[in-house]
Structure 1
Amino acid sequence: MDLVKKLYENVGARWLLAPGLSVLAVLWALNLTAQRRAYEAETGIKAIEAALARSSARTAELKGARDSKSKTSVRIKKALAGAALSKKALYENGLSLQEEKRLLEKQLEIMATYLQIDVQAGKIHLLRGDQINKSFPFPYAPLRVFGNEKRAMPAICRITARERFAFPERAKTEKAGEGLKWEPPQSGERLRYKPLGEFVIFTDGPLVLHAPVAEAALHDAYPHICAGLSREAAKGLYERVFIGNKLLTSGIPAPASPRPSAPKSTPAAKKRK
């Protein structure tokens, strides 16, 4: 301050006014510049804060969208897994329904299939419904009785067994105490090479349909009623009938016993004549 006073006293006020004004102008300019820069900085800070706010809002929005997509993805995966399981279950149910349909169709075919003996035409007709599907000729018209068969032909009988080869003796079941004793066929002294022909169809009556046999004596000794089918006819019937099919025998004449062969004439008998 003493220096200023001495300058003021020695130089004078008018010489100090100009530098002071210059200093004041410089300071004022610097102040304006600082204020402008402070304003610009404040404006930039506000812009940055606004941008940060928008960025935070956008970030929250994106996070919400991501969470929503994640939840949606989880639901879609569960739905796809459920759809796959449903598709698998639907496929398995479809297979089961197809199998049931096949079985029902087969049962319907079995129920609709039956045989009818036409003695006048000498044929056994295979029918489905009212339509003749196939006819198989047989030479024994009327049917013949073998082995002293006593049972009469029922009006309706059913097929009880189909066997590629069958021995005349059937399996035997006897009650032994509290249990059952079952003796299978073709055992013991019975021989396997003497079957009752081929393509044998047993019924719950005395009728047995089969192909020609190798040994006539064995065939004639077995009690049954026979149609004398050829091998082709027996095979065709065997391949087309089912166990449980009906066989209509009503309206046919009583089976005939095989005629004994006529005795040979002797020279003495000729002389008597």
Structure 2
Amino acid sequence: MTATASSRSVSASASASRRTASPRPTAGRGVRRVLYVIVLLAIAAIFITPYLFSVMAAFKPLSEIQGDRAWDLPSHFTLDNFVTIFTQYDFGGYLLNTAMVTIIITVGQVVFSLLGAYAFARIQFPGRDAIFWGYLSMLMVPNVVTMIPLYVMMSRVGLTDTYWALFLPYVFGTPYTIFLMRQYIQSIPSEVIEAARLDGCSELGVLRRVVVPISRPIIMTATIIAVIFSWNNFLWPLIATSSNGLQVLSVGVANFNSNFAAQWNLVLAGSLVALIPMVILFVLFQKHIVNSVNLSGASR
């Protein structure tokens, strides 16, 4: 009886010691979570702070932006900056030019990249892999290296300072987009494509009836990438065009600073207008973007 009581007391003390020791790992995990949250908040603050300043400054007169309290909320909330860029300068024209070029480049990149990706993934022809990897190696070449040769080519055929010069260099697809789509198309089971061929579908029929419906996620991802690139493109439109009527948003906003004595209120107001469509795009499709990129990365 005494031995039983002593064993019970020993087990009770052991369980009590385990209960007292168990909060330690939990406390450690809690501390790590707090540190993670602090680090993430610090990173978020670094990225969000410039946007907050831009939003506040877009509704301020120039005197407040250049004053000692530039980070304060607007003391004189005004829409004059937005009225000025749309009435005194051709900001509406910049928007139309950017929208038109973005639509043309996006449609062209998606269509031609899909055709090229399908050919590299599912059509057998001599030198296919060598051509693909040679084309993909162009990703290693910075865009700025090709600007001067590209400008000379456009100048020789008389296309500089025209709408053609704004979209022709990009409308036929990019190596990254073709690579992304090829990886996804390769993940489609070969049996599905062979069954469509046996049913009498041509290669274009297989592409239209089988590949496109299955590849909608990656097509949407390629579309979003092309829209963001086209909307924010700056260096090539700056080099290729000189007329005010052909300027896009990025060049027009930069000219507020270079041509008009650093009018930061107009620059920030124009930047906010240019940013709004991209924010809407991201909010609507952020989940789709992440899922599509994960699928394309796992397709190999």
- Provide TM-score, normalisation by structure 2: 0.28
- Provide TM-score, normalisation by structure 1: 0.30
> More helix by proportion, 1 or 2?
2
